[in-house]
Chains A and B, each alone.
Chain A
Amino acid sequence: KNEVEQSPQNLTAQEGEFITINCSYSVGISALHWLQQHPGGGIVSLFMLSSGKKKHGRLIATINIQEKHSSLHITASHPRDSAVYICAVNPWGGSQGNLIFGKGTKLSVKP
């Protein structure tokens, strides 16, 4: 059983669409990370959340600790947003060694 589940696994959108990627987890956490990985590229941290909502440009991340759920929204999507988006959680009481990763959501934005 995966402790971090992302949905959808794959997502294709048209340029300009509003996109939502979901992350559900089954353990108590102290923080949740959203990461972005472009094809053949490195991994970049988008957000680190422990509560509420964060916004950076066209990206918005929310977390509901009680429901153990987080969403990543992309407004006015663009082909350069095409990437794999990865959710990762820090369980309570563990060290960084306990970071649990989702398998990622592959997003493709068509012009």
Chain B
Amino acid sequence: NAGVTQTPKFQVLKTGQSMTLQCAQDMNHEYMSWYRQDPGMGLRLIHYSVGAGITDQGEVPNGYNVSRSTTEDFPLRLLSAAPSQTSVYFCASSLDRDEKLFFGSGTQLSVL
């Protein structure tokens, strides 16, 4: 099993550009989520999904879009990048709500 695969590892965008962060897991996990990590703020939830076709907003959803067409994939789309979205992004998955979390390796995003 590859676990949770997150790409890219690094990305630099200009303000207004759009991009998609990819997240895939091969563990047949129902729960998937996207977090951003900023200095001094800890991890904050952007969007999450409890299964294919089901997504919901987290604490900081503005400016981001998600979809879950398959169990394996949970991409995060930045619609029009802003400097405030400069952060480190993590994708995570778990088999069920109270199960061990598996994280992707992270994406360091800079928006200029």
Contact = CB atoms under 8 A, between A and B. Distances in A.
A102 B42 contact: yes
A95 B103 contact: no
Contact of B40 (A30, A41, A45, A103): A103
A95 B56 contact: yes
Contacts of A50: 98
B48 A35 contact: no
A85 interface: no
Contacts of B42: 86, 101-104
B33 A101 contact: no
Contacts of A45: 100-103
Interface in A76-99: 86, 88, 90, 95-97, 99
A23 B45 CA distance: 20
Interface in B8-47: 31, 33, 40-45
Nearest to B58: A97
B105 interface: yes
Contact of A42 (B57, B94, B98, B106): B106
A109 interface: no
A95 B98 contact: no
A19 interface: no
Given A103-B40, A103-B42, A104-B42, A97 B101 contact: no
Interface of A: 30-31, 33, 35, 41-45, 48, 50, 86, 88, 90, 95-97, 99, 101-104
20 contacts: A33-B101, A35-B103, A41-B106, A42-B90, A42-B103, A45-B100, A48-B98, A48-B99, A90-B98, A95-B50, A95-B97, A96-B33, A96-B48, A97-B33, A97-B48, A97-B56, A97-B57, A103-B40, A103-B41, A103-B42
